[in-house]
A and B are shown apart, each in its own frame.
Chain A
Amino acid sequence: MSSTTHARAAEAFSADAVRAAWHDQALWFVRAKRDQVTHAIPEWEALRTLASGIKAHTLSRLDTYLEEFERNAKANGVTVHWAANAAEHNRIVYDILAAHQAGTLVKSKSMLTEECQLNSYLEAQGIMIVDSDLGERIIQLGGETPSHIVMPAIHKRKAEVGALFAEHFGTSPDEDDPATLADAARGPLRAALFGADAALTGVNFAIAETGALVVCTNEGNADLGAHLAPLHIASMGIEKLIPRVADLGVFLRLLARSATGQPITAYTSHFVKPRPGASLHVVIVDNGRSEHLGRPDFREALACIRCGACLNTCPIYRRSGGHSYDATIPGPIGAILSPGIDLARHASLPFASTLCGSCGDVCPVKIDIPQQLYRWRQLVARGGHLGAPKRRRMRWLGGVLGSRRWYEFAGWMGRALLRVSAHAPWLVRRTAWGRERELPMAPRESFRDWYKRNRAA
C-alpha cells in the first residue's frame, strides 16, 4: 500500500473542474452559514467545552452507561441487542425482520448501516429496501455510496439527479429544478413509508438515565417510517451514549448549527417506549469502537457527533470529494477514524490534509483533529506504509532541514529557480500548482541575509 491512494482518487474527482469548483463553493457556503449562526451564540465556546467534557466523561465510564441504558430501555419495553461487529449487526437485523415476517424495510439516514453494508446483505436475503431520506434515495438509485455524512448526494449535480428521476419516477429527462425533483420523489417515498413492514433508523443520542433514543432529521422520513410500520429497529454505535436527558440541551444547541447552520433540525424525536401495538428494537454495535477506545492518543475521536462541520471546512475534502477517502466516513474525521480500522488500506488519509487546523476549530466537541492526523502520520511511517517515493522524499527533506549548509543552499537554489520559472509556460500550464495559482516572485536574498545586513551589529 502506498500513501498516494487518496491523491489518485482525488485526481479523478478534480478532473471535472466545473464540478469540483461547484463542490468547493457549495460546502464553503454551508461553512459560512455555520459561522453566522454560531457567532450569534455568545456562549458558543463554553458549549463546546461542555460537550467535550460530557463526551470524555461518558467514554471513560462507557461500560456503566451502556448497562444503565440497557436496563432502562428494557424497562421501557425496548428489546436490546448487542453486536460485536458488522456481520453480527446484519445478522441480528435480518433475524428481527424474519421473526416479524417483514419483507420490506424503509431506512432513514444511518452511517452505521453504511459501515456495516447492511443493504447488500439484506437484499441478498430477499429483503426490499427503500432508503427514505431524499439524498440517500438518490445515491441508492444511482448505485453509489454517500460522499458526505450529512449531505449524502452533495457530489451529484441536479441534472444527474434529474436523469435518475426520469428513469425511476417518470419526470421529464431535462427536468433539473430541485423543488420539482424533490416533489416528484415525495409521492413514491411516502408510498414506501406507508407500505413498509419495518423501519430502520440511526440514532443521534442514546440516553443512559432514561433508555431513550434521540433522532434528529429534517425531512420527517425517519418518523414517518418508525411511526407507521409495526416494527422499528434502531442501530447505534456504542459511542452514542450520553448520561443525562439534560445533556441534550448542550448537544442539540451545537449539532444542527455546526452541521447546516440551522438553529435545530426540523424534527428532534425522543423514542422512549414502543408505539402501542408495535415493537422497538435497538442494536448496539461495537465494530472496532472498543478497540479504538483503547488508544489514548486517538480515543477522543469517538466523541464525534457526526455533524460534518470538519468536512465542510476542509480545503482538501471540498476539492477532492467524499469518495476519494475510500471509507464510510470521509473528510478529516474519517481520516482519523479509518486508520484505526485498517492502517495499511487507509495509510494515505492522514496525509489528505494541510494541517491548517480548521477542522479542529469548527468541531463542536473539540476533537483535536489536526493533532490526531499528525500522530497517525507517525504511525503510518513507523508501520512502513509510506510508499517508496514519499519515504525517499522525507529522507531527503530530513537531510536538508537537518543541516544548516544544505538548508541555506536549498533556499538559494529555490529562490533562483522560482525567479526563472514562476511564469514559465511549462509550470503554468502543465502542473496543478501552476494552473491553480499565481506563484510569487522570489526575493533576491533570504531573511537571514537581510537580517545580517540590517540588524546584526
Chain B
Amino acid sequence: MTSRERILQAVRANRGEERPLPELPAGAALPDDAVQRFMAMIEEVGGEAMLVTKAEVHGLVASRDSESATVVSMVAEYPHSTTKVSARSPLAALEGIDLVVLRGALGVVENGAIWLTEEAMTHRALPFVAMHLVLLLRADQLVADMHGAYAALSRDASGFGVFVSGPSKTADIERALVIGAQGPRSLLVVVIR
C-alpha cells in the first residue's frame, strides 16, 4: 500500500461522525468613512496612505522617485520604468530595484490589506524585492472586511495572489518592531478619488 492510501484509510477509519459545515457570513456594509478608516489602518500597520485625484498621481509618485536609480512601474499613470521586468525575468533583473509601482485590485478597510493579482505584479517577486513599494488603488475598490474581500475576488485562473498589509516587518529580536525586514522598507498606498 502507498503512503497516500495508508493515510487516507487511517483518516477514514478515525474521522468520526460527520459534523455540519457552517454557513459563512456576508461581509459587513462599507462604512461611510471607509476611505479614512482604510488609510488610518495602513498607517497603523506601518505604511503611508495618500488620497489624491487621478491627475495628482504622477506628481506624487515622482516625488518618491527622485533618489531611485532603478524603477519598475506597472501602472499607466507613471510610465517611467528604468528597467523591464517580465514573468520570466532572470534573477539579476530583480536585484537592486529601488522602487516598484503596482496596481491593487481590492482594499480591505478592517486591516489595510491590498490584493495584488499575478497579472498586476507581472513577476511574483516584484512586490517583495522592491526597496520601496507604491500601490495604487481606486477609492471605490474598498470592501469592509475579509468576508467581503473573498466574495469580491474572482476565482479565475490566476496562479498567485497576495494580500499586502504594510511594509515588511519583524519583531524577532526582543519583540521590538523593526520595519523593513527582508522585504520592502516602506509602503505608500495611493488612494485615487
A residues contacting B by CB (< 8 A) are: 26, 29-30, 43, 46, 49-50, 53-54, 56-57, 59-63, 66-67, 76, 82-84, 88, 132-135, 138, 151-154, 156-158, 161, 178-179, 181-183, 186, 189-190, 193-194, 210, 218-221, 223-224, 226-228, 238, 243-250, 252-253, 260, 262-277, 284, 286, 290-291, 293-294, 296, 299
- Known contacts: A178-B174, A271-B160. The answer to whether A84 contacts B7 by CB under 8 A is yes
14 A-B Cβ contacts within 8 A? A57-B21, A134-B170, A161-B173, A218-B169, A219-B183, A220-B168, A228-B94, A249-B149, A253-B145, A263-B44, A264-B163, A273-B160, A274-B159, A286-B10
Q: Report A-chain residues with C-beta under 8 Å of the C-beta of B11.
A: 62-63, 66, 238, 290, 293
The bracket for how many chain B residues form the interface is 35 or more
Q: In the complex the two chains form, is A270's CB within 8 Å of B182's CB?
A: no
Q: Report A-chain residues with C-beta under 8 Å of the C-beta of B178.
A: 178-179, 182-183
Q: Report A-chain residues with C-beta under 8 Å of the C-beta of B155.
A: 210, 245
Alpha-carbon separation in the docked complex, A264 to B110 (Å)? 9
Q: Report A-chain residues with C-beta under 8 Å of the C-beta of B8.
A: 63, 66-67
Kindly list 20 other residue pairs between chains A and B, CB separation below 8 angstroms, not including A223-B162, A286-B3, A291-B14: A53-B19, A53-B21, A59-B19, A61-B18, A63-B15, A66-B8, A82-B2, A88-B3, A178-B178, A194-B95, A220-B184, A224-B128, A226-B124, A227-B128, A246-B147, A249-B149, A264-B146, A267-B163, A275-B124, A291-B10
- Known contacts: A83-B3, A220-B183, A276-B88. The answer to whether A50 contacts B24 by CB under 8 A is yes
Q: Is B165 in contact with chain A by the CB < 8 A criterion? A: yes
Q: In the complex the two chains form, is B18's CB within 8 Å of A272's CB?
A: no
Alpha-carbon separation in the docked complex, A62 to B168 (Å)? 34
Number of A-B contacts (CB under 8 A): 254
The distance from the CB of B32 to the nearest CB of chain A, in whole angstroms, is: 18
Q: Report A-chain residues with C-beta under 8 Å of the C-beta of B162.
A: 223, 267-270
Q: Is B60 in contact with chain A by the CB < 8 A criterion? A: no
Alpha-carbon separation in the docked complex, A60 to B19 (Å)? 6
Q: Is B120 in contact with chain A by the CB < 8 A criterion? A: no
User: Is chain B's interface secondary structure helix, strand, loop, or mixed overall?
Assistant: loop
Q: In the complex the two chains form, is B175's CB within 8 Å of A30's CB?
A: yes
Q: Report B-chain residues with C-beta under 8 Å of the C-beta of A63.
A: 8, 11-12, 15
Q: In the complex the two chains form, is B181's CB within 8 Å of A272's CB?
A: no
- Known contacts: A84-B6, A134-B172, A182-B181. The answer to whether A294 contacts B125 by CB under 8 A is no
8 Å CB contact of B22 from A30, A54, A84, A293: A54
Which B132-181 residues have C-beta < 8 A from chain A? 145-147, 149-151, 153, 155, 158-176, 178, 180-181
Q: In the complex the two chains form, is B172's CB within 8 Å of A153's CB?
A: yes
Alpha-carbon separation in the docked complex, A339 to B22 (Å)? 31
- Known contacts: A60-B17, A151-B172, A227-B124. The answer to whether A134 contacts B181 by CB under 8 A is yes
Q: In the complex the two chains form, is A290's CB within 8 Å of B150's CB?
A: no
Q: Report A-chain residues with C-beta under 8 Å of the C-beta of B128.
A: 220, 223-224, 227, 267
